[in-house]
Structure formats: structure tokens, C-alpha cells
Amino acid sequence: MKISDASPVKEMKQAHDSPASILSKAFELLDSFGPDRRVLTLTQMSRISGLPKSTVHRLIGRLVPLGFLEQHGAGFKLGIRLRTLAASMPVESLRESALPHLAALQSWSRSHVHLAALRGGQVVFVERFVPSGSRLPSGQPGDHLPAHATALGKALLAFAPSPVVDEVLGGRLEALTPRTVTDPEALSGELRRVRDERVAYAREECRRGVTCIATPVVIKGRAVGAVSISVSSDNRFGRQHVDAIRVAADRISKDNQQTLSMGHEDWFPGQD
């Protein structure tokens, strides 16, 4: 009796070595790197990613020639090709135009200033300006947090498409601190207020001891980003903070709309 080539063992091996499997493992490997893990050895990448050393060795052999990883002493670092790809993201246009306005806002407020974008129910930090020597907890570019627990996230959700808002309100609203808003009705009411006033607050809702104020960067009726100021909860925000952060967001929006008018309308399609 002839045994079929399509044996369970062979099918499992083919699935394990399929392009989709290899691609997912490559991203798992790249995810090993972070702000505090900029250079890693093969052994460290294996430990952090959970991938066998043999798999890591094979992936390195593919990623280095492609420019996604580069040799760095006895270890490896992310390749410059990833920076090239990142520079092609529409959000990079937002970040670049925001830089002078974020710097001015930070210089005036002498506080932590952030720029963030919304991805599903998560707020993702895009850029930050931090006072020298500050010990206040601060999100780094690439960090993400539940949108409902942050001023940035609430500013973004208030102008997000209805399906995105409905998914957040219908999901589990995790409590990061005792003050996090976890009631869907309360959050929905707060988002309506944010949409009317264009300013959101988070008073120790994400981190103890930290209070934030945020406002959206609106283009074509949708928030493509949001700007925030973070201070110690011992301090309070005044009318001058509201005005300053709104001015910064409006200037970022104006600069981006100029860029979009130069044949790049599809970068931020938004809602007309």
C-alpha cells in the first residue's frame, strides 16, 4: 500500500515553513527590539521572541540581506530600511509638520507634550517632547494604551467613525487606575462633551499622579491625531492651557491641509 505524500507530518512541516508562517515569525523577531533593547544578540532575540535559536538564525540570514536587520558588533540592530519605510507612512507627514508646534508648546508649558494617533481602540504615541530631568511617566513613540483611559484617546474617539467608537464602547473598558472611566454610558457622554468643546481630560485615569489635557488635530471632520500636555496631578490646567493646546492643534491641522492640497488628499481621506 502506497503512502500518500500528503501525510500529516509533511502537511504540518509545509504549514510551519509557509510564507505566512515565515512572515509572522519575522515580525515576532523584529518585535524583540524596543527603546531599551536597541542591540540584541541571537540568544537574546530567541529568549525575548520565544523562537528557537535555529529559527532565529535562519530569519537573520534572510532579514540582513534585505536590510531589515544589520550587524552591530556581536549583535544585531534594526536596519535603516525600516526607517525608510516608516518615513513613507502618512502619519510621518503629520509628525513632521507637528514638530515645531510641539516644541513651541513644550517650551511654553514646560511640561510633557505628546502627539498620538488612534489605531482601533488603542492610542499610539507618535512623538513626544519631555523637559530635561523630568521623572513624570511618559509614553514613548510606539507605545500604546487603551484609548478610553487617556485624554489623547478620548480626543481621538470623539471624532472617530461610529464603528470605531461603537467597538470601544461595546468592549471591555479596562481600569488602569481606580479613576479610569469604565462605564460605557459615562464614556459616551464624555465623548459628546469633548466633541463640543474640543478638549479632553484624564485625571489619573491612566497613571497615578498624572493629569493630562488633549485636543484633536481635525482634518475633514476626523481626528487624524491629537496633542496633549501632561503634568503632575498636583498641578492644575487653566484657560491658558486650553487655548495654547488648541492653537497648536489648529496650526498642525493647517500645515497638513496645505500638504494634502498638493496632490496628497488620499493620505488622510477623512469625512467631507
- 3-class secondary structure, 244: helix
Spell out the domains of the chain, with CATH numbers in brackets: 8-84 (1.10.10.10), 90-267 (3.30.450.40)
- Output the nine-digit C-alpha cell for 124: 499610539
Q: What is the pLDDT along the chain (272 residues), one digit of tens a residue?
A: 343 444 443 443 444 556 668 899 999 999 999 888 999 999 999 999 999 999 999 999 999 999 999 999 999 999 999 999 988 888 888 999 999 999 999 999 999 999 999 998 999 999 999 998 888 888 889 899 999 999 999 999 999 999 999 999 999 999 999 999 999 999 999 999 999 999 999 999 999 999 999 999 998 888 999 999 999 988 889 999 999 999 999 999 999 888 877 887 777 766 43
The two most distant CA atoms of the chain are separated, in Å, by: 85
- Crossing angle (nearest 10°) for helices 162-170 and 184-197: 150
* Helix (H), strand (E) at residue 203: strand 200-203
- Output the nine-digit C-alpha cell for 120: 482601533
pTM above 0.85, yes or no: no
- Picking from 141, 272, 132, 123, the residue whose alpha carbon sits closest to that of residue 212 is 123
**DSSP code, position 4:** P
217 neighbors 227 (Cβ within 8 angstroms): yes
* Helix (H), strand (E) at residue 11: helix 8-16
- Cell numbers 461595546 correspond to 170
